[in-house]
Amino acid sequence: MPLSTGIATLVFHDTGTIVLFAVVRQVFGFGLTLGLWGLYQRWPAASFSLSRHAWKIALGCVLAAVIDALLTVASQRAFGLPPMPLLVERGTLFSRLALYIAWSALYFVIRQELETRGTELRLARAEAANREAELQLLRAQVNPHFLFNALGTIIAEAETNPAAVVTTTHAVADYLRYSLSQGAHHRAPLGQELAAMSSYLHVERASLGADRLDWRIEASDAARLASVPTALVQPLIENALKYGPRTSPRPLQVRVNARVEAGEVVVTVENSGAWIERPPGEETRDSTGIGLANLRRRLELLCGPAARLDQTTPAGFVRFEARLPFVPPAA
């Protein structure tokens, strides 16, 4: 519009003629760029190649400039406007060609940017879906034998100690209620899992015998409120219960501690005994080995590289320590 108005001002002297010429030129320009847009839409972005389509773009711009010039001349005659000098006509022809080329270049730059962002968005959504599916699979691999062991314990207690059946049944119910409530969530307050692990260990102690398992859970208030990945503590406790009895004197001691240090949640699970080196490949056949591998993978997915799981062997104990960024509880 400014270019058309400027050319009309140099050629014509009547204000009405200047405005009419500029409006007509604007209408022609809009219509022709719309035609170029329709042509460009026929070339899908996925198969578009600038080297293959450059000559078509150039030809389209030349045709648009020529048609623009012919329509301008026809409109001048239709409205009885005086013709423009030949030098001005040639100059406007090249300026129109430059404008159509510039418009086409801008169009493809914007389209490429939008396609790039769209592709990135689709990839991000696909990655999120894959992460969701992987997290669901990892969660499903938590020890599936607990319920069967718990039912066996309740049956045994019913025969030898009926009064303990109520306590053990409540502990099983509390643990299962927690497990089922986490199906749609990947994070939860640590205190919820610690309470569930208290019930879990109660059932395990009833199953093993009071003289074979001694356990303790300690956690600061800040740690209990921290939002952490679900099933953070259970795989570590399962590992302690599975391998601890092989090297630990009776009773097996299991200690769980959770605290907040320097912006990190620190969770340690240790058991009495010694570290057992498992032969290569045993982890793939062992449910506890899978649980520890899954825990490391879930920490990586949900907390990123800042989270880690370390294993140490202080005198007479095997200790796992998980460190992950502190996340406050959801509002």
Per-residue pLDDT of the chain (331 residues; tens, 9 = 90+): 454 445 555 455 556 555 566 667 677 777 888 888 888 888 777 667 777 788 888 888 888 888 877 777 777 677 666 666 566 566 677 777 888 888 888 888 888 888 888 777 776 666 665 566 555 555 554 455 677 777 777 887 777 777 778 888 888 888 777 776 765 567 889 999 999 899 889 888 888 888 899 999 999 999 999 999 888 898 899 889 989 999 999 999 999 999 999 999 999 999 999 987 765 555 544 544 566 787 888 888 888 888 999 999 998 999 999 999 999 887 5
329 phi/psi in degrees, rounded to 5: -65, 150
Burial of 89 (0-12, 13-18, 19+ CB in 10 A): middle
- Strand 252-261, strand 213-219: pairing: parallel
| Alpha carbon distance 74, 273 (integer Å) | 98
The residues facing 216 across adjacent strands are 255
Complete DSSP assignment for 144-194: TTHHHHHHHHHHHHHHH-HHHHHHHHHHHHHHHHHHHHTTT-SEEEHHHHH
Record the tokens describing residue 215, joined without a space. Answer: 């356990």
Sign of CA dihedral 241, 246, 247, 252: positive
Record the tokens describing residue 50, joined without a space. Answer: 């600038």
Q: What angle do CA 256, 257, 263 make, to 5 degrees?
A: 145
Radius of gyration of the chain measured on its C-alpha atoms: 37
What is the pLDDT at residue 110?
A: 84
Evaluate whether the domain defined by 141-325 bears CATH number 3.40.50.10790. Answer: no
- Provide the residue ranges of all domains of the chain, joining segments of one domain with +: 2-138, 141-325
Q: Among candidates 111, 63, 82, which has minimal Cα distance to 17?
A: 82
Record the tokens describing residue 320, joined without a space. Answer: 């796992």
Burial of 107 (0-12, 13-18, 19+ CB in 10 A): middle
Cβ atoms of 152 and 193 closer than 8 Å: no
* CB neighbour list of residue 60: distance below 8 Å, 6 or more residues apart: 36, 39, 100, 104
What is the pLDDT at residue 135?
A: 55
Record the tokens describing residue 88, joined without a space. Answer: 């001005």
Cβ atoms of 68 and 28 closer than 8 Å: yes
Record the tokens describing residue 249, joined without a space. Answer: 């004197």
| Alpha carbon distance 129, 139 (integer Å) | 15
Give residue 5's region: left, alpha or beta (phi > 0; psi -120 to 50): alpha
What is the pLDDT at residue 291?
A: 67
Query: What is the edge-to-edge ordering of all strands in the sheet holding 213-219?
Result: 213-219, 252-261, 264-272, 317-325, 308-312
* Tokens 């605290």 found at: 259
Q: pTM above 0.75? A: no
| Alpha carbon distance 228, 21 (integer Å) | 69
What is the pLDDT at residue 142?
A: 47
